[in-house]
Amino acid sequence: MEFFLAVWHSIFDFITGLFIFKPWEEDTAENKIKSLALLFFLTICGFIFYILVF
């Protein structure tokens, strides 16, 4: 898969993940950071998957 297409898919996955995890609805700052960190981790894993597989 092309690099820019993988970047595009990763950005889309990140935005979609924001609406799934909704870190702004967490009650403490620590939980907000954990939700965002998980989202970044999943986005990076998805990007690597797109690069390696497609």
Global confidence as pTM:
0.83
Asked whether the beta carbons of 4 and 48 are under 8 A apart, the reply is: no
Burial class (CB in 10 A: 0-12, 13-18, 19+), 26: middle
pLDDT attached to residue 2: 85
pLDDT attached to residue 44: 96
Q: Which amino acid is at 34?
A: K
pLDDT attached to residue 42: 94
Distance of CA 7 to the CA centre of its chain: 11
Domain locations in the chain as residue ranges: 3-53
With a cut of 70, which residues of the chain have pLDDT below it?
1
pLDDT attached to residue 22: 92
pLDDT attached to residue 54: 81
What is the four-CA torsion angle of 44, 48, 53, 54, rounded to 10 degrees? 80
> Quick one: angle between helices 3-21 and 29-53, nearest 10?
150
